[in-house]
């Protein structure tokens, strides 16, 4: 996930198991694995509740396919 602005690492507990990584002049990457779709929705609701701007969301299909095997 890419968020507009820089998030302080102290916000880590708000974002489940995702890692916070500043990127570029005004962007933060949230990356990592979430246990299920409900966890994704919780993170998206937190982003909305905090008034943050979600720039993009990417899924790694390889990881989900690998877990099914």
Helices (DSSP H) in 1-69: which residue ranges?
Answer: 37-49, 61-68
Question: What percent of the chain is predicted at pLDDT more than 70?
Answer: 87
Residue 26 corresponds to which tokens in the numbers above?
């005004």
Q: What is the CA radius of gyration of the chain?
A: 12
Residue numbers in the chain where pLDDT is lower than 50: 65-66, 69
Whether this model's pTM surpasses 0.85: no
């Amino acid at each position: 996930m890419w968020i507009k602005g820089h998030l302080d690492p102290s916000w880590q507990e708000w974002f489940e198991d995702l890692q916070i990584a500043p990127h570029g002049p005004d962007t933060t990457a949230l990356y990592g694995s979430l246990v299920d779709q409900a966890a994704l929705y919780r993170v998206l609701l937190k982003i909305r509740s905090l008034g943050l701007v979600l720039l993009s969301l990417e899924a790694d299909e390889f990881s989900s396919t690998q877990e099914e095997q």
